[in-house]
Amino acid sequence: MSTPDGRGQQLVQHEFSVLRDRVREWVEGPGELWGSRIEADDVAPGELFDALRTEGFLGLAAPVDLGGAGLSFSQWMLLMELFSRTHASVRMLVHVINGTWRSMNPYADPWQRETFVTPSVRGDILVAFTLTEPDNGSGADITCTARPAEDGYLLTGRKHLITFGVRCDYWLLFARLAGSSGKQGTVALLVDRHAPGVTVEDTSRTMGVHGTDHASLTFSDTPVPVTNRLGAEGDGLTIALGGFLTPSRISVAMSCVGLAQRAQQLAVDYSRHRVTFGKPISSRQAIAFMIAENEADIEAARALVLHAADEWERGTDRAGALSSMAKMVAVDMLTRVTDKALQVHGGRGYMKSEPIERVYRDARAQRFEEGTNEIQKTVVAHDVFERARDRKDQP
């Protein structure tokens, strides 16, 4: 029996194998066509969202009783690996929508589950995770304020770098009660995209990940009914960081693995067909060594990501630190792999006509998603020193 965040569920192996093959075929077929269209128009159209919903790809990770496919988290990571080989906006859609329910469901009451959680799993609504602020980090220092008012709160403050913040139906927003400090004063609110007192700025023009909208949001006494508060007052950061961030960091790490595999595939194919002095460049030791280094790099990162996924699935106390290790290692791996893959292509790799050019740009965004490597190192170091102290204190 699964928990509210999906741990304990699993699709039987035969059914999962069939699903995995179907995802792979979609990624290599329609997914690539969508990628070309997104790059041409610089927009991830509503039809893509509809196509993903029709395929059932927006609720794969959720429990069956929420309308999902009931995959285990480790199974979901194996599909995330595939989705990440196609366009970054496709990956971003399936990553976010297959993750936000996990943050909401453990704290949702029956009405909230019916109104927000199951419609999100079905793909009927889009909920944008809304934590980051322009002048703060993404933790207990948030300053976006929820002031108690009749039947709810008045929201004031700013958020930025909010993925799908323009086109969403609701913002899953984290704020603090006026006058409070620390995580004890934080709240999680589902804010209607069309609520009064909100200014939405589209900040979607980015180096890579074209087509995914990003928003900067300003709230000025925006009303939020108390019925739209998840959990109790004081639960905000627990909902944000515990329910979403740890599995999401593992998912982002696996997306690095999938994108690196795509870069490696492109480099291998190009090196086998590019001929100099009568021989394919794959026969040149300099090229072969880069390919070999990439392969080992990818396999090592993948093993760590799957280990972190297993630890989170089993609910161990190492899962949080391992999620940061996985993200940190996978991001650095992706940087090395895409750099070498581009180098294998030579000057042609710098041309927009080559798929590796898009992969190279998209890879840079992973360095910021779900926290920079500097943040991950802080988390890991804290875990190392805490465990060292605990060992010393043991009798």
Candidates 369, 370, 374, 386; catalytic one: 370
Q: Is 76 left (phi over 0), alpha (psi -120 to 50) or beta?
A: alpha
Beta carbons of 54 and 106 less than 8 angstroms apart: no
Q: Letter for the amino acid at 53?
A: R
- The closest alpha carbon to 126, from 159, 153, 94, belongs to 94
Beta carbons of 49 and 30 less than 8 angstroms apart: no
Calpha distance 284→328 (Å, rounded): 32
Task: Give 33: exposed, middle or buried? Use CB within 10 Å, 0-12, 13-18, 19+.
Answer: exposed
Burial string for 233-251 (b: 16+ CB within 10 Å, else e) reads bbbbbbbbbebbbbbbbbb
SS3 290: helix
Beta carbons of 274 and 287 less than 8 angstroms apart: no
For 264, the token pair is 């490696």
Calpha distance 301→121 (Å, rounded): 29
313 is an active site residue: no
Query: Which residues belong to the active site?
Result: 370
